[in-house]
């Protein structure tokens, strides 16, 4: 019995020692775990502080960028991959209008930005200002950022430089045109002096009056060309009727071609009723081209005036079936004072080029020797009005001899 008590006592002692060992291990493990928790808390606090500092710095940077975009003189537009505007700054709103957010960028471009001929990266606002447009892709194909820069002042300075060049050329022109004005003036004076004689018949009096009028009109044309050439880029623009201008041109050409075998036609497929520009100088430029075509035909042939719309541009084409222009002459025909005619001043086509630049457009010449000539006036349409289902205006002069 005693040995059984001793055996149980030893078992209890061993169990007690085992419990002490387990308790000690558990205490050590708890202390280690507590140490790790403390360390993790410290690391988490450090990470939280670093994250907070990063957020504060990013917020400061975002505020700086927001202020920068707000005060930037250039317009900034951000679009997503679908072309919808998702952000813009104050300058962009001032350029394009208030309702930008959520709008379609292609629609904004079509409605508010007028293309500039031969300058694809520039557009013109309806108030006349010029914008340079550049575009960059955002990371991971998230969309695009578009920068709108007002280059109106730079273009004005360029126009001023061109004007100064024109004025310099005007000084050269005065000397070269002296005999061009003096000769018709002397002729007009001579005919005017004959009107005072009592012995002349009424028929002679009318003939002299007509000759005087022709010489005066010639001199008026020279003076008008000089003024238009000098006023490049400073022409007054307003809305006018395109069909009315074409009708005036048609009537003037019919009167000029009364005693010739030249056929003349006007075809307008544009369906545009009103355009923005200077009607007088534009009509004068077209008449200049028509007069050149008439002189090239030398009394017989065909002249066509074709008007059509191409995208946002208006094309006015003057076409004849005359002898054409040589390649060497074609390279210089728009230079001031270059002419192939003995009695020419070399200013007519330079004036046409000047008028088109004032309308933000261009003039092109397509011609080969023996294959006729085609002058194409191209300029953006501003203030256009469309009339659907309207029949095209067409006028053709029947051949008549007097």
Spatial contact of 164 and 170, defined as CB atoms under 8 Å apart:
no
Is 50 exceeded by the pLDDT of residue 388?
Answer: no
pLDDT band at 63 (very low <50, low <70, confident <90, very high): low
Using CA atoms in the order 36, 39, 41, 44, what is the torsion angle rounded to 10 degrees? -120
In the prediction, which pLDDT does 208 show?
80
Cβ–Cβ < 8 Å for 382, 126: yes
How many angstroms separate the CA atoms of 306 and 392, rounded? Answer: 11
pLDDT at 225: 65
Alpha-carbon span 343 to 194, nearest angstrom: 26
| Euclidean distance between CA atoms 227 and 12, whole angstroms | 126
Both ends of the chain: CA-CA distance in Å?
A: 163
More confident residue, 218 or 325: 325
Q: How confident is the model over 343-352, as pLDDT tens digits?
A: 555 667 888 8
pLDDT band at 308 (very low <50, low <70, confident <90, very high): very high
Tell how strand 300-310 and strand 261-268 pair up.
parallel
2-31 burial code (b ≥16 CB/10 A, e <16): eeeeeeeeeeeeeeeeeeeeeeeeeeeeee
For residues 317 and 68, give the distance between their C-alpha atoms in angstroms, rounded to a whole number.
Answer: 48
The average confidence (pLDDT) of the chain is 78
Q: For residue 94, give the nearest of 122, 66, 72 by alpha carbon.
A: 72
Phi, psi of 335 (to 5 degrees): -75, 135
The pLDDT, as a whole number, for residue 68 is 62
Of 253, 257, 276, 279, which Cα lies nearest the Cα of 266? Answer: 253
Instruction: State residue 306's pLDDT score.
Output: 95
Chain centre distance of CA 167 = 26
Q: How many helices (H) and strands (E) does the chain have?
A: 10, 15
Query: How confident is the model at residue 331, as a pLDDT?
Result: 78
Average pLDDT value for residue range 43-47: 85
Evaluate if residue 267 carries a pLDDT over 80: yes
- What does the alpha-carbon distance between residue 384 and residue 312 come to, in Å, rounded to a whole number? 10
What does the radius of gyration of the chain's CA atoms come to, in whole angstroms?
Answer: 41
Q: What's the chain's length in residues?
A: 402
What percentage of the chain exceeds 90 in pLDDT? 11
Of the candidates 167, 226, 182, the one whose C-alpha atom is nearest the C-alpha of residue 346 is 226
313-320, strands of its sheet edge to edge: 362-367, 373-380, 313-320, 300-310, 261-268, 393-396
Q: How confident is the model at residue 69 (pLDDT cuts 50, 70, 90)?
A: low
Residues 344-377 pLDDT 10s: 556 678 888 888 888 888 999 988 777 889 999 9
CA distance 332 to 336: 9
The residue written with tokens 């009723």 in the block is 273
In this structure, are residues 351 and 225 in contact, taking their beta carbons and an 8 Å threshold? yes
Residue 81: Cβ within 10 Å count? 11
* DSSP for residue 140: G
Q: Report the alpha-carbon distance of residue 316 to residue 322 in Å, rounded.
A: 19
Q: How far from 131 is each of 145, 154, 309, CA to CA, in Å? A: 15, 11, 24
Residue range 14-34: mean pLDDT, rounded: 79
Is the pLDDT at 290 greater than 60? The verdict is: yes
Query: Which one, of 307, 305, 314, lies nearest residue 374 by Cα?
Result: 305
Handedness of CA 267, 268, 274, 278 (dihedral sign): negative
């Amino acid at each position: 019995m005693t040995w059984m008590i001793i055996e149980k006592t030893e078992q209890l002692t061993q169990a007690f020692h085992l419990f002490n060992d387990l308790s000690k291990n558990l205490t050590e493990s708890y202390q280690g775990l507590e140490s790790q928790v403390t360390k993790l808390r410290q690391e988490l606090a450090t990470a939280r502080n670093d994250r907070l500092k990063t957020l504060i710095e990013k917020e400061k940077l975002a505020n700086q960028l927001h202020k920068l975009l707000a005060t930037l003189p250039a317009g900034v537009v951000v679009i997503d991959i679908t072309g919808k505007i998702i952000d813009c700054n104050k300058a962009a709103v001032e350029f394009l209008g208030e309702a930008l957010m959520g709008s379609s960028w292609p629609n904004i471009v079509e409605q508010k930005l007028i293309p500039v001929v031969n300058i694809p990266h520039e557009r013109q606002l309806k108030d006349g200002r010029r914008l340079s447009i550049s575009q960059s892709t955002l990371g991971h194909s998230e969309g695009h950022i578009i920068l709108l820069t007002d280059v109106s002042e730079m273009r004005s300075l360029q126009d001023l430089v061109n004007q100064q060049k024109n004025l310099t050329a005007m000084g050269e022109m005065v000397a070269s045109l002296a005999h061009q004005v003096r000769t018709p003036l002397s002729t007009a004076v001579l005919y005017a002096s004959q009107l005072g004689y009592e012995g002349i018949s009424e028929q002679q009096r009318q003939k002299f009056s007509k000759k005087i009028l022709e010489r005066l009109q010639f001199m008026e044309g020279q003076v008008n060309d000089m003024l238009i050439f000098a006023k490049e880029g400073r022409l007054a623009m307003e809305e006018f009727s395109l069909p009315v201008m074409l009708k005036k041109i048609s009537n003037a050409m019919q009167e000029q071609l009364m005693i010739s075998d030249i056929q003349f036609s006007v075809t307008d497929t544009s369906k545009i009723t009103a355009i923005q520009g200077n009607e007088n100088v534009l009509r004068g430029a077209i008449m200049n081209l028509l007069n050149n075509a008439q002189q090239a035909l030398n009394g017989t042939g065909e002249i066509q005036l074709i008007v059509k719309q191409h995208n946002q541009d208006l094309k006015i084409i003057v076409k004849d079936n005359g002898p054409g222009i040589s390649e060497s002459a074609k390279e210089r025909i728009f230079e001031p004072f270059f002419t192939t005619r003995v009695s020419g001043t070399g200013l007519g086509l330079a004036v046409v080029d000047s008028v088109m630049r004032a309308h933000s457009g261009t003039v092109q010449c397509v011609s080969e020797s023996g294959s006729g000539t085609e002058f194409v006036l191209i300029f953006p349409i501003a203030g256009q009005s469309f009339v659907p289902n309207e029949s095209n205006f067409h006028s053709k002069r029947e051949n008549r001899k007097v």
